[in-house]
Amino acid sequence: MSLSTADVQKVARLARLAMNDTEIEAARTQLSGIFELIAEMQAVDTAGIAPMSHAQDLSQRLREDRVTEDNQRELFQHIAPQVEDGLYLVPQVIE
Amino acid sequence: MTWEIVIGLEVHTQLSTRTKIFSGASTTYGAEPNTQADAVSIALPGVLPVLNKGAVERAVKFGLAVGAHIAPRSVFARKNYFYPDLPKGYQISQFDLPVVGMGSLAIQVEPLSGNAKPYEKVVRITRAHLEEDAGKSVHGASQGMTGVDLNRAGTPLLEIVSEPDMCSAAEAVAYAKTLHNLVRWIGISDGNMQEGSFRCDVNVSVRRPGEELGTRREIKNLNSFKYMQQAIDYEVQWQIDTLENGGKIHQATILFNPDTGETRAMRSKEDAHDYRYFPDPDLLPLDITPEMLAAMRTELPELPEARRTRYVNELGLSAYDAASLTSSREMADYFDTCVTSVGNAKLCANWLIGELSAQLNRDGLDMAQCPVSPQQMSGMLVRIADNTISNAGAKEVFRTLWAEGGDADLIIDSKGLKQVSDSGAIEALVDEIITANADKVAEYRSGKDKLFGFFVGLAMKASKGKANPAQLNEVLLKKLAG
Amino acid sequence: MFNSSLSQLGAALRAKKISSVELTQSYLDRIATHNPVYNAYLTVDNKASLAQAAIADQLLATGSAQALTGIPIAQKDIFCAKGWRTTCGSKMLADFIAPYDAHVIEQFNRAGAVNLGKTNMDEFAMGSSNETSYFGPVRNPWNQNAVPGGSSGGAASAVAARLCAAATGTDTGGSIRQPAALCGITGIKPTYGTVSRYGMIAFASSLDQAGPMARSAEDCALMLNVMTGFDERDSTSLQREKEDYSRDLNKPLAGLRIGLPKEFFAEGLSADVGARVQEAIAEYRKLGAVIVGISLPNTRLAVPVYYVLAPAEASSNLSRFDGVRYGYRAPEYTDLADMYEKSRSQGFGEEVKRRIMIGTYVLSHGYYDAYYLQAQKIRRLIAQDFTDAFKQCDVIMGPTSPSTAFNLGEKGDDPVQMYLSDIYTIAVNLAGLPGMSIPCGFGTNEMPVGLQIIGNYFDEARMLNVAHQYQLATDWHSRAPKGF
């Protein structure tokens, strides 16, 4: 299967990856090859088979509603690219 | 030619758990920025979600309260998109398998205009699902920058989705109010709208009768019933105008500006949303055990609708009174306490809906903050019921209870508010008035009925307001008749 | 000393023949000598390691030592270790000092083990050659021009070169077993859910599983005893009784039924690897095992299924790296969208971006059913193949990798060829089963060959027994590369 340049551009945008035209084209060729490999599974008849999301068929364990975490802002923001007055800073968001 | 309005609501209600839906960080409102943003809330590499039992229990309670199907197994999915207040780059939500399925809610609609009568309507609830809240963006935190506070990130939300069953702003508001009452009533949310604990997205479309559904626009994040009504009214008119002028409606997410009373489309994202939902591999399917279901059923209080019906059928109250008294759990419980000790339901209802509610309104308080306890209130209502005090005297007692507290009987004594019910005393009083106002009596007897009030006023004044009004009326009528 | 087993080292420490500080220092010296060539470690912190060793010595002195107390262990740089730089092999986290410990790290700390350093790996564990590491490739101690395998390439190289007593790895599609095979060491990926994933930087959450890499099955058993255990912070962590993985090491193998899937010996398998595996099977016959021919009919589908599911999960798991709260942020950008795109494009390497693109595509609107859902359904078929097979046999054996270690740069430009080399290991992750690799000889290029042993769910103790009995009968596992 062959992907179009527009497909690749759309995916790059969704994934928030900046790519120039050369990179888009390289990605297109490589992804097309990979999707040829993946295409093998299309032919398999999976009617009536339940999708498998987890290795074990178990159910979610529930946590008691108890506070276990304390304020570690200083430790956590020590490794942040840009903070001010306890806030993480990002370029202006416009709604 | 007329237009039909079609409205559906998506309500995000914050669940009143102590901790976040997937971590043990506190959810207390108003903390310093990011002091409640633990490792999971800021999505450090390697951290994992573990589901809060309290959030699940609250969702189940809600499902039971709206008579919904509770899914024995539901699934958490990731909704993928990038936004600074969404630390993982995805929101954990429920997609094709929500915990609460189809249910319904009966609403009492009071038309907002005209002289149409109140009516009841049943709104279907499509589903309700658990998800995590996002953080908050603080605009203008620094020059040209936006600040991100992740304290709220991970707060449990129940998103309640209705069918597009409402066809006016009045119905939408009635539904939202009823839902708001319900989530507080069953104790799953504090419903605090200022703090964003109850946020409504309203989907609005219009169509010609009999035609297919029109294209809808979604008004986001309304956190006041007043704004909801204004926003819907504006939006409906805008859509109708647009269509009548030959325009087309495009699906859009819009914001309501309370200052201008207008709606506007949000700056559209460059690419259409593609959330790439898929089951979250970090979380296993959520199984609701029969034990939890039974426990939640037991914990569920008598619901507003049941109580309203009981008030009408067993206590003989009007539909209007019953609806008013069940407008909040606190009010209804207050009323029940009063009725138990006073007995006279209509009297209790009148006072709670009238004087008490008015006073709460004047002071900007809600029922939970009422300075007069139901026991104090009952002490006074009992004295009205047994004719110890008149209505005027009762108002005096109530004012004192409100301002200073205390006990109704002591206030009645100290202020001398006991009304005169001694028929001899009242007759003597009336005789005196008749003698002193012979000319007016003559006028009355010659057909000037209106003068009756004049005599009542005189008699009341003479008794310093303490005469039992019913008795006084009776004696006056008799004596004036001659 | 560098060839001693973990139990020998433990005994020497407890007998005060050597202190943990001395042992740790001698490993650190050895790392200082060899690491510039092999690049197996990304971070070594002498001070931190020696401080831990000093604490261990106190425990040893007071007689409160456990099996691994005082023993220097190399940690894959995918595990967050408080105060340690934790890079996951990526520029994105090149300066990331982890503010907390992964469960695995906590378990080793509780056991009194010494963190000897953080090992190199393919970026975000995506790769089979360790060539995708932002910090440069790792070299194979058996041949400096060859790759060590991946993604736990640094760990495998460090164990083979005796630069640690044992190491941790993680395995999403073979990342413990394949480098173990290519470097001639022993590694085991336990049943999914046995080792907590808390603090282990996620690649594909439903497949990721940590496990030990060491020089013998016996050592792996001691490592597993420390690494496993229920952790309430990981919803997929299994609540099971703590077990002693060494308990069955010495059981005889008479009557053991070994299943040989015909699909593992078909086209694509190098002749020399096939021959060594058959020789190992012959050795097992001598030990009393019975060979059963079995079939895993959906084996060929494992690669496409994996390359849908793992990138899908990864594309979402890696969205948190956005330059806002930690990690790399591009130095220049025009607005928020540009900040995201530049930070991610500059912070991630080619292979990571490729997989994010694949994953984003297969999850996107209109393709979900055809790719993601179809892959999940076939995943069940693949797991069912194993369930059926284990009705006929106790363990399954075959090659770990279709060939021995290839040379650096040899498969660089062809991701498909690289992906196909995971064919024997991937299905085990999809099913969530335990799998291990043990050395079983050398190929025509004198590079090690790995024998893969696949067990039923929770059968790690039996697999270790099966491996240990082989290692008692042969000496492939104790061969060291020249110069080590």
Q: How confident is the model over B137-152, as pLDDT tens digits? A: 998 777 889 999 999 9
Would an 8 Å CB–CB cutoff place A6 in contact with chain B?
no
d(CA B454, CA C90): 94
Structure tokens given for B96: 């094709």
In this prediction, residue A32 carries a pLDDT of 92
- Burial letters for C427-462: b for 16+ Cβ neighbours within 10 Å, e otherwise? bbbbbbbbbbbbbbbbbeeebbbbbbbbbbbbbbbb
CB contacts < 8 A (B, C)? 99
By the CB < 8 Å criterion, does B257 face chain A?
no
Contact A88 B23 (CB under 8 A): no
Q: Does C307 touch chain A (CB under 8 A)?
A: yes
**CA geometry: angle C374, C376, C382, nearest 5 deg:** 105
Q: What is the dihedral of CA B404, B405, B410, B411, to 10 degrees?
A: 50
For residues C424 and C454, the answer to whether their CB atoms sit within 8 Å is no
Q: Which of 22-81 (A) contact B at CB < 8 A? A: 53-54, 58-69, 71-73, 76-77
What would the mean pLDDT of C184-192 be, rounded to a whole number? 98
Average pLDDT (B454-473) is: 83
pLDDT value at position C366? 84
pLDDT at A93: 82
Given a cut of 60, is residue B269 above it in pLDDT? no
B105-144 residues touching A, CB cutoff 8 A? 137-139, 141-142, 144
pLDDT, one tens digit per residue, over C40-68 is 999 999 999 999 999 999 999 998 999 99
Q: What is the pLDDT of residue B112?
A: 67
Alpha-carbon separation of residue C31 from B230, C146, C161, C182, C481 (angstroms): 71, 20, 9, 21, 16
Range from A8-12, B469-473, C411-415 that averages highest in pLDDT: A8-12
| Phi, psi at C388, each rounded to 5° | -65, -40
- Could B278 and C372 be called an inter-chain contact, meaning their C-beta atoms sit closer than 8 Å? yes
**Residue where the block lists tokens 């019933």:** B225
Tokens matching residue C206: 């439903």
Tell me: the pLDDT tens digits for B216-263?
A: 999 999 989 999 999 999 999 999 999 999 999 999 999 999 899 888
Render pLDDT for C154-185 as a digit per residue (tens, 0 to 9): 999 999 999 999 999 999 999 999 999 999 99
* Chain C nearest-CA residue for B286: C235
Indicate the range of B433-442, C85-94, C165-174, C346-355 predicted with least confidence: B433-442
Q: Do C357 and A61 touch (CB under 8 A)?
A: no
Q: Do B145 and A86 touch (CB under 8 A)?
A: no
C partners (3+ CB pairs within 8 A) are A, B
Report the pLDDT value the prediction gives residue B387, as an integer from 0 to 100.
85
pLDDT in tens, B372-419: 999 999 999 999 998 888 888 899 999 999 999 999 999 999 988 887
Q: What residues of chain B lie within 8 A of the CB of A92, using their CB?
A: 139, 144-146
How many Cβ pairs within 8 Å bridge chains A and B?
128
* pLDDT of res. C344: 98
What are the boundaries of each domain within chain A? Answer: 5-42
Q: What is the pLDDT of residues A29-78, one digit of tens each?
A: 999 999 998 988 999 999 999 999 999 899 999 999 999 999 999 999 99
Mean pLDDT calculated for residue range C421-440:
97
Give the best-scoring range by mean pLDDT among A39-43, B431-435, C475-479: C475-479
Q: Tell me the C-alpha distance between B437 and C100, whole Å.
A: 94
Q: What is the dihedral of CA B46, B47, B49, B54, to 10 degrees?
A: 170
A90 touches chain C (CB under 8 A): yes
Amino acid identity, position B29: Y
pLDDT of residue B451: 86
Q: With beta carbons under 8 A apart, name residues in chain A contacting C361.
A: 3, 7, 11, 31
User: Which chain C residues are within 8 Å of B33, Cβ to Cβ?
Assistant: none
| Nearest by CB: B54 against A65, A85, A94 | A65
Q: What is the overall mean pLDDT for chain C?
A: 97
Q: Mind spelling out the 3-state secondary structure of C62-119?
A: CCCCCCCCCCEEEEECCECCCCCECCCCCHHHCCCECCCCCHHHHHHHHCCCEEEEEE
Contact A41/C at CB under 8 A: yes
Instruction: Give the helix/strand (H/E) hosting B93.
Output: strand B90-94
Q: Do B44 and C99 touch (CB under 8 A)?
A: yes
- Share above pLDDT 70 across residues of chain B, in percent, rounded to a whole number: 98
User: Taking CB atoms and an 8 Å cut-off, how many pairs form between chains A and C?
Assistant: 161
Per the prediction, chain B carries an average pLDDT of 93
| Superfamily name with CATH number, domain C6-255+393-478 | Amidase signature (AS) domain (3.90.1300.10)
Looking at CA atoms only, how far is residue B44 from chain C in angstroms?
Answer: 8
Nearest to C402 by CA among C92, C161, C158, C181: C181
Q: Are A27 and C415 in contact (CB < 8 Å)?
A: no
Average pLDDT over residues B12-24: 98
| Test mutation, A2, A4, A11, chain C, max C CBs within 10 A | A11
pLDDT exceeds 90 at position B351: yes
Query: Average pLDDT of C440-448?
Result: 97
CB contact under 8 A, A41 and C305: yes
Which of B19, B38, B48 to mutate against chain C (most C CBs within 10 Å)?
B48
Residue B349 has pLDDT above 50, yes or no: yes
- In whole angstroms, give the CA distance from residue B403 to residue B376: 13
**Which sequence spans correspond to the domains of chain B?**
4-291, 302-415, 423-481
Q: Give the model's pLDDT for residue C145.
A: 97
User: Closest to A18 (Cβ–Cβ): which among C206, C342, C380?
Assistant: C342
> CB A16 to CB C419 under 8 A?
no
Q: Tell me the one-letter amino acid at C224.
A: L
pLDDT band at B267 (very low <50, low <70, confident <90, very high): low
B114 has pLDDT over 70 = no
Beta-carbon separation of A67 and B25 below 8 A: yes
- Of the pLDDT bands very low, low, confident and very high (cuts 50, 70, 90), residue C480 is very high
Q: Which two tokens stand for residue C77?
A: 């740089």
8 Å CB contact of A91 and C315: no
Active-site residue set of C: 76, 151, 175
CB contact under 8 A, C234 and B39: no
CB-CB neighbors (< 8 A) of C124 in chain B = none
- Residue B469: what pLDDT? 81
Residue C382 token pair: 């693949």
Q: What is the dihedral of CA B306, B310, B311, B314, to 10 degrees?
A: 180
Q: What is the pLDDT of residue B430?
A: 87
Mean pLDDT of C15-22: 97
- Closest-CA distance, A31 to chain B, in angstroms, reads 19
B59 pLDDT higher than 90 = yes
Please answer yes or no on whether C235 and B48 come within 8 Å at the CB atom: yes
Residue ranges per structural domain of chain C: 6-255+393-478, 300-377
pLDDT 10s digits, C194-217 = 999 999 999 999 999 999 999 999
C-beta separation of C324 from A90 below 8 A:
yes
Give CATH for domain B423-481.
1.10.10.410
Residue of B79, B284, B287 to mutate, testing the A interface (most A Cβ within 10 Å of its Cβ): B284
Q: Does B141 touch chain C (CB under 8 A)?
A: no
Q: Tell me: the pLDDT tens digits for C398-424?
A: 999 999 999 999 887 788 888 988 999
Whether B82 contacts chain C with CB within 8 A? yes
**Residue B272 in this model has a pLDDT that exceeds 80:** no
Give the nearest partner residue to B283 out of C200, C204, C235, using CB atoms: C235
Contacts of A58 in chain C (CB under 8 A): 238
> Shortest Cα distance from B372 to chain A (angstroms)?
34
- Does residue B133 carry a pLDDT above 70? yes
Q: Give the minimum alpha-carbon distance from A53 to chain B in angstroms, rounded to a whole number.
A: 7
Q: Residue B84 — φ and ψ, nearest 5°?
A: -60, -25
B44-58 mean pLDDT: 98
Q: Are B460 and B433 in contact (CB under 8 A)?
A: no
Band (pLDDT 50/70/90 cuts) for residue B270 is very low
- Residue of B328, B413, B354 lying closest to B379 (CA atoms): B413
Residue C99 sits at the chain A interface (C-beta within 8 Å)? yes
Which of B441, B438, B415, B433 has its CA nearest to residue B472?
B433
Q: CB-CB: which of A63, A68, A85 is closest to B33? A: A85
Joined tokens for residue C477: 């596992």
Please indicate whether, in this complex, the C-beta atoms of C324 and A54 are within 8 angstroms of each other.
no
Cβ atoms within 10 Å of C414's Cβ, excluding its own: 12
Summarize pLDDT for B173-200 with one digit per residue, the tens. 999 999 999 999 999 999 999 999 999 9
